[in-house]
Chains A and B, each alone.
Chain A
Amino acid sequence: MRADAVTSAAGTVDGAATNGTGDARVDHMTAGMTGGVTGGVTDGAVAERASGKAGPTDWPLVVDAHCHLGAFRNFHIPANDIDGMVRVMDLLGVDVAVVAAHAGIYADYRFGNDQVKAAAARHPGRVLGYCCINPNYAAEVRDELERCFADPAFRGIKLHPELHGDYPLDGPAYRPVWEYAAEHRVPVLSHSYFAGDPLGVFAALADEYPTIPLLLGHAGLDYGLDRVVDVVADRPNIHLDLTGPLSWDGVVEFLVRELGPERMVFGSDMPFMNAALQLGGCVYARVDGAAKERILGVNAAALFGLDAPARRTGAPA
């Protein structure tokens, strides 16, 4: 139970007075950070706050730990190439995206991994990669891991059992992944989903491979977050990827209150979904600024070995 990082949802603290900057300008992101403003806000005050532009770009580091790349078969995604994604990152103040190509999680993992490699080369420091493997091509798994991680831009492994025939996460074809990740302490992000692997499978894998940072995709939303809390609380190597749950008001407050902010990472699913909707769910959450800093970037930096903010390094290579 960690209540210290959570501000009161019913707080009546004036955002301008408590942002710690001494800046009289009222910033709407800062207001979200500090937990609220007093009622009876005049139109002028609201307009002033709403016109603020300093929000996400003012955070020390923003890492989007759950991104994709490219087209997806059953719906239209505008501007889905890496340049379109980096444009959105710039608008939102996101420093680094960790990317698993749509092709990697579904159509052709090698094709997708090559897309990620090219994207990371085009935007060095802004784009990192997840290596995707498909357990249905079991004989190729180990070689693909070696091929990916020869490139230092790859920092994690992404598994998506749902799109690879509902292959079980603890099935034999995934074993080389877990062995490789344990040996090299590589973070593994796995999609979690209703009717997929039960939460207990994640718990068992976390217990079996305690050196693997295991990212529970979408924070296990479909299982019920209260159940997730029970499973995660005593397993320090399970981290919660907040992609998706951030849409729901109150999720960050609930999880920070129950678990503390140390094992949560911001993710957006960009370009599969709209990144701003996810980011807004975090930066406007009623938790304190220190918790948001951890969720937005500090935790992911430790997981993925980021040395320093790579933000906005200029034109593509």
Chain B
Amino acid sequence: MRYLDCNTFIGRPAGHRPYITRAVTAADLVAEMDRVGVHEAAVYHVLAHEYAPEAGNELLLRELAGAAGGVRERLRPVGVVLPPHTGEAAEPEPLVAGLLASGVRMARIFPSSDMAGHRFSLAPWCSGELLAALERVRMPLAVDFTLFRRGEPPWREIHDLVECHPDLPVILMDVQGRNNRTLYPLLKRFANLHVQSAGFNVHHGLEDLCERFGAHRVVFGSGYPLRSMGGALLQLDRAGLPAADRELIASGTLTRLLADVRTGTAAGADADAGVETKEAAAHAR
């Protein structure tokens, strides 16, 4: 079983008492992956969340470029993005082109309205162009509302996001354990909506979700270094699921989504083939 963690970061977060007491480097992250048994991780820089996306993204790429052999190739950079209206981020098309040119194949947004997020709306009039640019290249998008414990995401915005951008693979991070009554109808209606595994803190949850919607709708992710990577692994490893389902969750689905990203003209043909594969898989189901 190969594990690809979709939800990790490096850096020095501002305040998470009292357990992170020093900056987490790329090497630290990979050391923890080794200890727990995780092969690869998609990683963003915490400053891209807590300070500014552009600065954080640059730091991430710089740290990964300088990482030792055995570290760099196990980490997949995630670009944190914003809508362009304030000039803090490039226009969507060049922004996405720049990410692709830097080797980034996954994006992340923090659109919540609380202080932990980046305070922008997912409505088409605000984020539509950005989301369309990501959709055109099929770049997986981690959507993080920085929910905690009893949090409830803005359902209307999620609905509009996945409805308006059906070819954009969306991974809902940290959806928490109290939201099935609204999450399930969204999963039923929109095939491009996925759920991060450890953020889905539900008893018998992976089993229930997979039985209803298929294991390809869940993507393994821990939240390390804040959350326990071992906990995330155990949740999946001990779920009452067939090995094939656990394989899809552990890495299969995200690996395919990342491979399907359209990186250019030549790669576009490959990506098209990937889309066909997806359709074939969907048909087979």
Contact = CB atoms under 8 A, between A and B. Distances in A.
Chains A and B belong together in one complex: yes
Interface of A: 10, 28, 31-32, 35-41, 43, 46-47, 49-51, 55-56, 74-80, 84-85, 87-88, 91-92, 224-226, 246-251, 253-254, 270-281, 283-285
Contacts of B39: 43, 46-47
19 contacts: A32-B36, A46-B38, A50-B233, A91-B238, A247-B201, A248-B226, A248-B227, A249-B229, A250-B19, A254-B19, A272-B203, A273-B201, A274-B203, A275-B203, A277-B201, A280-B228, A280-B231, A284-B228, A285-B230
A76 B238 CA distance: 21
Given A224-B17, A276-B234, A31 B229 contact: no
B204 A78 contact: yes
Interface centre among B16, B233, B234 (most CB of A within 10 A): B234
A231 to B, nearest CB: 15
Nearest to B39: A46
Contact of B229 (A10, A78, A246, A284): A284
Given A248-B16, A273-B201, 11 more contacts: A39-B34, A47-B39, A50-B1, A56-B234, A91-B240, A247-B231, A249-B224, A271-B204, A274-B201, A277-B201, A284-B233
Contacts, number: 165
B202 A36 contact: no
Contacts of B233: 28, 50, 280, 284
B230 A79 contact: no
Interface residues of B, number: 49
Contacts of A251: 19
Contacts of B205: 78, 274
A270 B203 CA distance: 6
A75 B178 contact: yes
A123 to B, nearest CB: 17
A76 B208 CA distance: 11
Nearest to B222: A249
A8 B17 CA distance: 20
Interface in B253-282: none
A87 B240 contact: yes
Contacts of A250: 19-20
A87 B239 CA distance: 10
B37 A78 contact: no
Nearest to A276: B235
A248 B204 contact: no
Contact of B231 (A35, A41, A88, A278): A278
A277 B237 contact: no
B203 A77 contact: yes
Contacts of A49: 37
Given A28-B37, A284-B228, A75 B181 contact: yes
Contacts of A85: 203
B235 to A, nearest CB: 4
A84 to B, nearest CB: 6
Contact of A277 (B2, B3, B204, B231): B231
Contacts of B27: 39
A136 to B, nearest CB: 23
Interface in B21-62: 27, 30-31, 34-39
B197 to A, nearest CB: 9
B179 to A, nearest CB: 7
Given A78-B202, A226-B18, A50 B3 contact: yes
A39 B30 contact: yes
B231 A246 contact: yes
B227 to A, nearest CB: 6
A249 B203 contact: no
A248 B19 contact: yes
| 3 nearest CB pairs, A to B | A284-B230, A250-B19, A280-B234
Contacts of B31: 10, 36, 39
B242 interface: no
Interface string B184-201: 100000000000001011
A249 B226 contact: yes
Given A50-B233, A75-B178, A249 B201 contact: no
Nearest to A252: B228
Contact of A226 (B17, B38, B224): B17
B87 interface: no
A246 B232 CA distance: 12
A23 B27 CA distance: 29
B204 to A, nearest CB: 4
A80 B230 CA distance: 24
Given A76-B180, A249-B226, A284 B204 contact: no
Contacts of A284: 35-36, 228-231, 233-234
B225 A78 contact: no
A38 B33 CA distance: 11
A277 B180 CA distance: 18
Nearest to A225: B18
Nearest to A92: B238
B36 A80 contact: no
Contacts of B184: 76
